[in-house]
Amino acid sequence: MNARALHLNTWLAITAIAALGLVIAAYVLVVVRLDGASGPSLVVDADGSTSGTLGSVGAKEYRSAYFASICVSAPGEITIRSIEPVEPVGGLRVTDFSVVSTKSRAAILGAASGRLRDEPSYLGTETVTASCSGQNYADLFVELYKPRPEDASAGEFTIKYDSDGDHREAPLLYDLSLCEGDDCGAA
């Protein structure tokens, strides 16, 4: 092999190693950014074992209910953008939500007929600052709408939120039904 070919092979090997190094560095940056994203995460105290059935809800009616205790994983805050039912039945929609500090315990845990804004103890903000480290939770209240004269439900919801500029999602494993009669499916 002549010197020129040896030089070219050496140059190609060094270039390939440098390119591989850049790919590895880019991969590490992406993985660190995704796994170690800045800002706290939302922690939802709803493991799927909780469910609720609200009866005698007619078409075009609203119900407001306590859904879960929530907190942030580290010091800081998150802002909830929306809460959406996953694969809703009967047109169930989330039309409003509120985060209420549990420090005052002014909020009544349960459900109320009507709009969230009409129940003063359910009024709060869209921001969660309660840190999980001291088991300092906030209460999440959700306003639901049943558009049609049929039972409406969802077995899970998705909370979309912002943390330190990142758009994130958290599952809310809560099975909820708004029933036309006293019980869903009752004739």
pLDDT digits (tens, 9 = 90+) for 18-51: 333 333 333 333 333 344 568 999 999 877 777 8
| Two tokens, residue 173 | 């494993």
| Two tokens, residue 45 | 């105290």
Separation CA 167–CA 147 (nearest Å): 29
Helix (H) or strand (E) holding 91: none
The label of the residue with tokens 């075009």 reads 60
| pLDDT the model gives residue 2 | 53
SS3 for 123?
Answer: coil
| pLDDT the model gives residue 120 | 79
| pLDDT the model gives residue 161 | 98
Strand 78-85 with 93-101, pairing: unpaired
| pLDDT the model gives residue 170 | 95
| pLDDT the model gives residue 60 | 94
Residue pair 184/175 in contact (Cβ under 8 Å)? The answer is no
Separation CA 185–CA 89 (nearest Å): 13
Q: How far is CA 155 from CA 27, 48, 167, in A?
A: 36, 8, 23
Residue pair 141/98 in contact (Cβ under 8 Å)? The answer is yes
Separation CA 117–CA 26 (nearest Å): 48
| pLDDT the model gives residue 4 | 46
Strand 127-128 with 152-154, pairing: unpaired
Q: What residues of the chain score a pLDDT lower than 70?
A: 1-37, 102-110, 186-187
| pLDDT the model gives residue 37 | 63
Give the predicted TM-score (pTM) of the model. Answer: 0.75
Separation CA 8–CA 14 (nearest Å): 10
Helix (H) or strand (E) holding 13: helix 3-35
